[in-house]
């Protein structure tokens, strides 16, 4: 199956968090995974924040970022924002949810697939809207 994955899902591939098992099933499954280029920055920012808060060491952070860099090259197709920027903006404007979150969802819509998310606020805000068919909660894998 084809899926768009957000940074919150990808973080669970490297750190022990709730739903890490489900996220790992997505990674290890025979899925065609996609993400917008924004995910690279979001992922690395989360790791950086965890280092700053002392949750992981700087060496651990560097190892995770290096491993993610290799994994994202091999397992995930990374898409430019050019083709989805207008749809992401329109979705953010109409829903009140961030442009960043809508970048993932707009990509899923453009690829005619589902976005797997571990962002409960985003998911709950849109689970009863017409875009629901393009959203999947991580726990429902």
> Is residue 51 scored above 80 in pLDDT?
yes
* Digit-coded pLDDT (tens) for 80-133: 999 999 999 999 999 999 999 999 999 999 999 999 999 999 999 999 999 999
Among candidates 2, 19, 16, 17, which has minimal Cα distance to 117?
Answer: 19
- The proportion of the chain whose per-residue pLDDT surpasses 70, expressed as a percent, equals 99
Give me the CATH number covering residue 128. Answer: 3.40.50.1010
By the 8 A CB rule, do 10 and 35 touch?
Answer: yes
**What is the extent of the structural domain holding 8?**
2-140
Q: Give the chain's end-to-end CA distance (angstroms, integer).
A: 11
By the 8 A CB rule, do 107 and 86 touch?
Answer: no
Query: What is residue 72's predicted lDDT score, i.e. its pLDDT?
Result: 66
> Is residue 37 scored above 80 in pLDDT?
yes
Q: Which two tokens stand for residue 109?
A: 């819509």
Name the domain count of the chain.
1
Query: What is residue 48's predicted lDDT score, i.e. its pLDDT?
Result: 98
């Amino acid at each position: 199956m084809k899926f768009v994955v957000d940074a919150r899902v990808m973080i669970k591939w490297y750190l022990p968090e709730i739903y890490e098992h489900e996220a790992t099933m997505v990674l290890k499954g025979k899925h065609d995974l996609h993400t917008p280029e924004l995910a690279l920055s979001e992922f690395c920012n989360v790791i950086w924040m965890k280092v700053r808060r002392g949750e992981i060491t700087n060496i651990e952070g560097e190892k995770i970022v290096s491993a993610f860099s290799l994994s994202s090259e091999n397992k995930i197709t990374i898409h430019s924002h050019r083709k989805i920027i207008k749809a992401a903006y329109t979705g953010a404007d109409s829903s009140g949810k961030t442009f960043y979150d809508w970048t993932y969802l707009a990509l899923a819509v453009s690829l005619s697939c589902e976005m797997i998310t571990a962002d409960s606020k985003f998911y709950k805000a849109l689970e009863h809207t017409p875009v629901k068919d393009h959203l999947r909660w991580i726990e429902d894998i």
